[in-house]
Amino acid sequence: MKFYLVRHGETEWNKLGRFQGQYDTLLNDRGVSQAKLTARSALDWNITAIYSSPLSRTMHVADEFANLLDLPVHPREGLMELALGELEGVRGEEMRAGWPEVYETWNGHPELTEMPGGESLKTLEERSWQVILDLEKAHAPDDNMAIISHNFTIRAICGKLLGIPLCNFHRLHLALSSVSIFESVPRGRRLLSYNSTSHLEQELPAPSN
């Protein structure tokens, strides 16, 4: 059983450096192009099921997969991004000025941070990992699943898989529209690749304004 963890493509908030958790932003033109290229690469993955965060930016990617693979999309709330509460739409410098204690804790001790009005990384890790456990039980050993999700969510899943404590959360980087793969077999789980963007090599340039 293989899990293909796909991060969504670019949104305007990504482009502007704004934090986006569960605020329902849309893919911009470049993000749509990235989604199409990623879906095209999935033709070689032998996917048997598609799961997605229910937010629009991930569902757009999932729908691109569904159209090419002729499979339904199964939304899972556990795959949503970290809820940022008051920090939705905020830039880094605005966080530092307006929430200095949260900023310092997030940068120094992410495992202790609870976003004001939002979630902690521990909560994110627990709910997203539960999705993985549920899917392992629900699927056959030779199934391959596409999981369309978000930056922090995929990093939390991969960190849990590798046994990386949340205090080291910032040591993992995940690019937009990247693909990470792990397998789950009777002897355990193994990360096969992380943060691959080779499928974007023919990405169209972002349109000029």
Hey, which residues are catalytic here? 8, 150
Q: Among the residues of the chain, which ranges form H helices?
A: 12-16, 29-41, 56-69, 92-98, 100-108, 121-138, 151-162
Cα separations (Å) of 196 from 92, 96, 173, 184, 199?
Answer: 26, 31, 11, 19, 8
Burial letters for 70-100: b for 16+ Cβ neighbours within 10 Å, e otherwise?
eeebebbebbbbbbbeebbebeeeebeeebe
Beta-carbon contacts of 93 under 8 Å, excluding residues fewer than 6 positions away, are none
For the chain, the maximum distance between any two Cα atoms, rounded to a whole number of angstroms, is 52
Beta-carbon contacts of 138 under 8 Å, excluding residues fewer than 6 positions away, are none
Query: 209: helix, coil or strand?
Result: coil
Q: Which two tokens stand for residue 135?
A: 């899917």
- Measured in whole angstroms, the distance separating CA 79 from the mean position of its chain's CA atoms is 8
CA-based nearest residue to 57, from 81, 82, 25, 34: 25
